[in-house]
Amino acid sequence: MSERSPDATAGAAPHLPANAIELKGLRKIYRRSHGQPPVEALKGVDLVVPRGSFFGLLGPNGAGKSTLINILAGLVVKSAGTATVCGVDIERNPRRARRTIGVVPQELNLDAFFTPRETLEFQAGLYGVPRRQRRTEELLRAVGLGDKADAYARSLSGGMRRRLLVAKALVHDPPVVILDEPTAGVDVELRRSLWEYMKGLNARGRTIVLTTHYLEEAERLCDRIAIIDRGTVVACDEKSALMRRLDEKELVVTVSPAVGELPEHLRRRSVVRDPEGRLRIRYHPSRTRVIELLDAVREAGFTIVDLVTREPDLEELFLRLTGKGAEGKR
């Protein structure tokens, strides 16, 4: 039988628990200055992030995503509940908890008078990374700042600062990397390179958590997705399962001649005529191909002039998940 000593984790094969993050009943109430009512940003969140996952935390502005992350990062003090990172309780062992995660904050807060090299060296010092183990050059190159190592942070563009923050979060090679809206206002090129890099880290066993309000981004990258709305987790599932619950699109077809009476076989396919005289067809992409629907429209004697497909956006997704949540999973 193997002995399990919680402190014998510094060696080559650390005994890591199955979950990278575990939150139980996590609450946060922001008390505000006199007169203003307190804000309950997190209303008892239970959440598990399995180790090795690429986890998306989605939600609209004000949902509580940054609050949750800042609690894990030790920047915000929780009001109730527990949080552990790689089995380490953030309250009982804040220093060790902080070492197991690297957080890329939403705000671009960098010291304007530090160069990227100094920023990373200083951070490495803060985390007690011995000089010989530091990877300053490697990290700067990885985020495309190799040639900016000695430029002042204040001379860097927004995108460069964002990348520097990513490098800064990685100096101590944390097993869990958390990125808070890393692509808000960031160009496509940088987005892509950032994701490639994160995918590489994930492939090497790191757990990645990212918050975003872009459903598409989470859909492409994450294997698990939680949706948070007004301080409550309304869904948490494997991406594929969640997407199945969203398996609905709408096809809007402009036809000629304009639609009068709907032929019977179109009505059977739940086609409706909208006020503008177009055909609206709801369908399940996993079961029906658009081409079949278009064939049906042509067979009814219509010529297709234009078509648009609509996907449920995050807003609709919320409505559906909050509406269906009770009978859905539980």
- The dihedral through the CA atoms of 124, 187, 223, 205 has a sign that is negative
- The dihedral through the CA atoms of 221, 226, 227, 229 has a sign that is negative
Residue 109 contacts ligand ADP per CB under 6 A: no
Residue 63 contacts ligand ADP per CB under 6 A: yes
Smallest distance, Å, CB 38 to ligand ADP?
Answer: 8
Residue 5 binds: one of ligand ADP, Mg ion, none (C-beta under 5 to 8 A by kind): none
Residue 71 contacts ligand ADP per CB under 6 A: no
- The dihedral through the CA atoms of 261, 282, 318, 326 has a sign that is positive
Residue 29 contacts ligand ADP per CB under 6 A: no
Tokens at residue 25, please? 């009943």
Q: How far apart are CA 245 and CA 160, in angstroms?
A: 38
Q: How far apart are CA 260 and CA 191, in angstroms?
A: 47
Residue 125 binds: one of ligand ADP, Mg ion, none (C-beta under 5 to 8 A by kind): none
Residue 315 contacts ligand ADP per CB under 6 A: no
Per-residue binder mask for ligand ADP (CB under 6 A), 33-62, x = binder: ------x-x-----------------x-xx
Residue 314 contacts ligand ADP per CB under 6 A: no
Residue 323 contacts ligand ADP per CB under 6 A: no
Q: How far apart are CA 293 and CA 266, in angstroms?
A: 9
Sheet holding 249-256, edge to edge: 271-273, 279-283, 249-256, 303-310
Q: How far is CA 120 from CA 94, 97, 101, 124, 287, in A?
A: 22, 20, 16, 6, 51
Q: How far apart are CA 30 and CA 19, in angstroms?
A: 28
Nearer to ligand ADP, 28 or 172 (CB): 28
Residue 66 contacts ligand ADP per CB under 6 A: yes
Residue 184 contacts ligand ADP per CB under 6 A: no
* 3-class secondary-structure state, position 109: coil
Nearer to ligand ADP, 67 or 119 (CB): 67
Query: What is the number of residues in the chain?
Result: 330
Please tell me the count of residues contacting ligand ADP according to CB under 6 A.
Answer: 12
Q: Which of the ranges 34-42, 61-69, 96-104, 119-127 carries the binding residues for Mg ion, by CB under 5 A?
A: 61-69
Smallest distance, Å, CB 65 to ligand ADP?
Answer: 3
State the CB neighbour count (10 A cutoff) for residue 114: 17
Candidate list 53, 67, 100, 207; residue touching ligand ADP; CB under 6 A: 67
Residue 62 binds: one of ligand ADP, Mg ion, none (C-beta under 5 to 8 A by kind): ligand ADP
State the CB neighbour count (10 A cutoff) for residue 74: 15
Candidate list 19, 66, 136, 207; residue touching Mg ion; CB under 5 A: 66
Smallest distance, Å, CB 213 to Mg ion?
Answer: 9
Q: How far apart are CA 216 and CA 208, in angstroms?
A: 17
Q: Contact residues for ligand ADP (CB under 6 A)?
A: 30, 32, 39, 41, 59, 61-67
Q: Contact residues for Mg ion (CB under 5 A)?
A: 65-66, 106
